[in-house]
Chains A and B, each alone.
Chain A
Amino acid sequence: AQSVSQHNHHVILSEAASLELGCNYSYGGTVNLFWYVQYPGQHLQLLLKYFSGDPLVKGIKGFEAEFIKSKFSFNLRKPSVQWSDTAEYFCAVGGGGADGLTFGKGTHLIIQP
């Protein structure tokens, strides 16, 4: 069975700090990996995704993630966070096509000005 584990449930950082959110997955086949973000009062929206090719993926708002197959990991990074990055971040895995996604529990990130 597939599963996604996000290690940090609550993270508090100061502005300009560097961010890394951990995500490990368990999945039996070809894997597509996603990071979604939910800003306060808004929809879930895609930050970035990996399905093939370069394992270092760049997304919106300066975020990036690296797929490390040997570690079953897809950690999210940002070198310098801003107050506006305060949000809930979700890692997800799917098989592609019309497959549904399996989500982690999410990480609540708070950026202090």
Chain B
Amino acid sequence: ETGVTQTPRHLVMGMTNKKSLKCEQHLGHNAMYWYKQSAKKPLELMFVYSLEERVENNSVPSRFSPECPNSSHLFLHLHTLQPEDSALYLCASSGGGIADTQYFGPGTRLTVL
């Protein structure tokens, strides 16, 4: 399935590095999302963009900075992360309609050393 793609699939970074995660959706959707999946915890919503405007930010630390330059692309910029930020970061998109389904990408497995 290639509806939502994410790069890179794996990323190892030091606490002083700056890196970016990329998500691209090929479904013509209007809304895009970042979720974090940590071991033994539920998927946590981080950010929501609708029509390229950020509509939700779930008290995420400022070391995570999202960017949505257009309706097909979503980035998550990372800087000065902590080891506890190691997780699977999932991107999703939806049409934004009342009953629309969110479609997920394969995720980026992030390890912070």
Contacts and interface: CB of A to CB of B under 8 A. Distances in A.
B3 to A, nearest CB: 9
B105 to A, nearest CB: 7
Interface residues of A, number: 25
B19 to A, nearest CB: 22
Contact of B43 (A49, A52, A103): A103
Contact of B42 (A44, A97, A99, A105): A105
A96 B48 contact: no
Contacts of B42: 4, 102-106
B106 A43 contact: yes
Nearest to B96: A98
Contacts of B41: 105
Q: Which of B31, B42, B98, B100 has the most CB of A within 10 A?
A: B42
- Dominant secondary structure of chain B at its interface with chain A: loop
Interface in A23-70: 32, 34, 36, 42-46, 49, 51-52
Contact of A97 (B35, B40, B96): B96
B94 A98 contact: yes
Given A44-B90, A97-B96, A103-B43, A49 B101 contact: yes
A101 B99 contact: no
Given A44-B90, A101-B45, A104-B42, A52 B50 contact: no
Interface string B15-33: 0000000000000001101
Interface of A: 4, 32, 34, 36, 42-46, 49, 51-52, 90, 92, 96-106
